[in-house]
Structure 1
Amino acid sequence: MLSKEKLERINELSKKSKTIGLSIEEAKQQSALRKEYLETFRSTMRDTIESVKVIDPSGNDVTPLKVQQAKKDKFLN
């Protein structure tokens, strides 16, 4: 998870870009922070999805095979 300071800086740069614009250095910083945010978000989402087990009303495990395989791969590594 990103630090509170980084999230605040992302929001600050976003507001500034909509009003007065960003300098070249600020635009580079914004891009780097956004990239880091997306990587963190995707990693967290992937971990969440891989930890889910889907059960139908009959009690059968109907977790998609792709998710089951990802769990196995993660466990083996």
Structure 2
Amino acid sequence: MDDKKIARINELYKKKKAGTLTEEEAKEQALLRAEYIESVRNNLRASLANVSIQEKDGSIHPLRSKKAVEVRNEK
């Protein structure tokens, strides 16, 4: 997400806080917030994809999602 969109989110927040936010701007704010949250989630996923865990025995393995571990343990 670029700086212009983040600045617009902040601008709309200030307008909402002041009580001058229109319905159209509220919709724009919701869309921008959703885009921002998705961007943060994607960045976090990318960061976690590069994380490796070193066990006490010295073995190293990539970090897996909780769902993947649960499915593996069920088998």
TM over 0.5: yes
For the 8 Å contact 2:49–2:63, the answer to whether it is kept is: no
What number of residue pairs does the alignment pair up?
67
Q: Which has the higher strand share?
A: 2
Corresponding residue SS for 2:65: helix
Structural RMSD (CA): 2.0
In our comparison, the structure showing a higher alpha carbon Rg is: 2
Unaligned runs of 5+ in 1: 70-77
Unaligned runs of 5+ in 2: 69-75
Q: TM-score, normalised by structure 2?
A: 0.75
Over the matched positions of the two proteins, sequence identity in percent amounts to 36
Shift of 1:61: 2.0
Q: TM-score, normalised by structure 1?
A: 0.73
Which residue of structure 2 lines up, in the alignment, with residue 48 of structure 1? 47
The CA distance in 1 between the partners of 2:32 and 2:63, in whole Å, is 33
Which residue of structure 1 lines up, in the alignment, with residue 34 of structure 2? 35
**Higher mean C-alpha deviation, range 2-11 or range 18-27:** 18-27
